[in-house]
């Protein structure tokens, strides 16, 4: 497999993992199988365990490995961003519908990454702005039929989650060892989880007991879709500009919707086709614009 093809495959795998994460979270929380705090705790803990085992596997293969090496690849800022994203994401979806939640989340991610890029001196050319606008318009068109007035709390929580994920994505662009960095970041969330658990359950007079199905969904989300998915995402981020990393994530709702067509026998509508072509066209425009800007630099 060529390096370029491998990059495309990894990007698709990461985006599929993001889409699956949203589905698993909604399944667990919408049906009351688990509360948001417990879902987040099981999700991040299972992700940390899975990634630690993968690091051990690297050690068994004779690669240079020590806890110090792994620990140094992550940071507390990245871990805090991951923690805020995961907790805000879970709690926001209790009060937000899927379409509105996705709109707020990815809107905040887009804005955060663009602001970070501009602050770092990475000027976007007009074709990139046009591509971002077209892709986001297609995304809004996709979720428009499901939009309703969001609750203020849900809006704030999902906005915080989007900003945190944007920051986590931005910091992944400087990661030299994506597996170690992701492992370190997940492990660093454990003390944050313990503090959150104590605070939440102290103020919660009637804690909800987690059902077996809810725990299974949370562990699947954490171990596979988050742990492995985020490690793959960190592996490709150094090769992507901020604008491309931002616009690619608008494909996540498209992937989830197409998955419904394939696996849930949902119908292919003109609405879906227009939205998909708009997002894909915007993504392609951003990629072509970034290549042109790189050649002229």
Question: What contacts 35, CB < 8 A, 6 or more positions away?
Answer: 29, 207, 208, 210
Mean pLDDT of the region 13-30:
87
Please tell me the predicted confidence (pLDDT) of residue 11.
93
- Amino acid 264: pLDDT: 58
In the predicted structure, residue 233 carries a pLDDT above the cut 90:
yes
- Tell me the range of 28-32, 90-94, 221-225 where mean pLDDT is highest: 221-225
CA distances from 11 to 14, 63, 105, 245 (A): 5, 25, 19, 10
Under the banding of pLDDT at 50, 70 and 90, the label for residue 202 is: confident
Name the domain count of the chain: 1
Mean pLDDT of 104-125: 87
State mean pLDDT over 224-251: 90
Res 107: pLDDT: 87
Neighbours of 227 (CB within 10 A): 27
pLDDT at 1 > cutoff 60? no
> Quick one: DSSP state of residue 146?
G
What is the per-residue pLDDT for 50?
92
Task: With beta carbons less than 8 A apart as the criterion, state whether 173 and 242 touch.
Answer: yes
User: pLDDT tens digits, residue range 127-139?
Assistant: 889 989 999 998 8
What pLDDT was estimated at residue 83?
A: 96
Domain region containing 168 = 3-296
At residue 248, does pLDDT exceed 60? Answer: yes
- Identify the band that residue 16 occupies on the pLDDT scale cut at 50, 70 and 90: very high
Q: Is 33 helix (H, G, I), strand (E, B) or coil?
A: coil
Mean pLDDT over residues 14-37, rounded?
Answer: 86
Residue 23 near residue 196, CB atoms below 8 Å: no
* Integer Cα distance of 32 and 27 in angstroms: 9
Q: Report pLDDT for 97.
A: 76
Structure-token match 């119908």, residue found: 267
**Residue 246 in contact with residue 116, Cβ under 8 Å?**
no
CA distances (Å), 65 to each of 56, 68, 72, 150, 189, in order?
8, 8, 12, 47, 21
| CB-based contact 224:273 (threshold 8 Å) | no
What count of residues does the chain have? 297
**Cα Dmax for the chain:** 61
What pLDDT digit, counting tens, does each position of 43-77 carry?
999 999 999 888 887 765 555 566 777 788 889 99
pLDDT at 66: 66
Whether pTM exceeds 0.95: no
Reduce the secondary structure of 224-290 to three states and give it as a string: HHHHHHHHHHHHHHHHCCHHHHHHHCCHHHHHHHHHHHHHCCCCCCHHHHHHHHHHHHHHHHHHHHH
pLDDT at 60: 52
What is the C-alpha radius of gyration for the chain, rounded to an integer number of angstroms? 19
Q: Are 73 and 177 in contact (CB under 8 A)?
A: yes
């Amino acid at each position: 497999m060529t390096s370029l093809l491998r990059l495309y495959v990894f990007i698709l795998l990461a985006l599929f993992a993001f889409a699956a994460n949203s589905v698993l979270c909604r399944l667990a929380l919408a049906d009351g199988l688990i509360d948001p705090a417990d879902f987040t705790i099981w999700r991040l803990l299972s992700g940390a365990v899975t990634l630690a085992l993968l690091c051990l596997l690297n050690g068994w293969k004779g690669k240079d490995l020590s806890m110090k090496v792994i620990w140094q690849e992550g940071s507390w800022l990245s871990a805090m961003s991951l923690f805020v994203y995961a907790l805000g994401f879970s709690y926001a979806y209790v009060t937000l519908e899927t379409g509105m939640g996705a709109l707020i989340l990815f809107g905040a991610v887009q804005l955060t990454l663009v602001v970070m890029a501009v602050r770092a001196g990475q000027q976007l050319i007009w074709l990139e702005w046009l591509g971002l606008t077209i892709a986001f318009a297609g995304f809004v068109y996709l979720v428009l039929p499901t939009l309703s007035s969001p609750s203020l709390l849900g809006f704030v929580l999902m906005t915080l989650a989007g900003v945190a994920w944007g920051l986590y994505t931005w910091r992944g662009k400087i990661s030299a060892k994506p597996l170690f960095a992701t492992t370190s970041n997940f492990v660093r969330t454990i003390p944050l989880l313990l503090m959150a658990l104590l605070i939440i359950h102290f103020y919660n007079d009637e804690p909800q007991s987690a059902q077996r199905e809810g725990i299974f969904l949370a562990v699947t989300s954490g171990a596979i879709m988050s742990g492995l998915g985020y490690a793959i995402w960190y592996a490709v981020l150094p090769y992507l500009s901020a604008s491309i990393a931002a616009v690619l994530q608008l494909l996540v709702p498209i992937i989830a919707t197409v998955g419904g067509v394939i696996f849930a026998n949902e119908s292919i509508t003109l609405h879906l086709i227009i939205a998909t072509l708009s997002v894909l066209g915007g993504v392609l425009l951003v990629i072509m614009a970034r290549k042109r800007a790189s050649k002229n630099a």
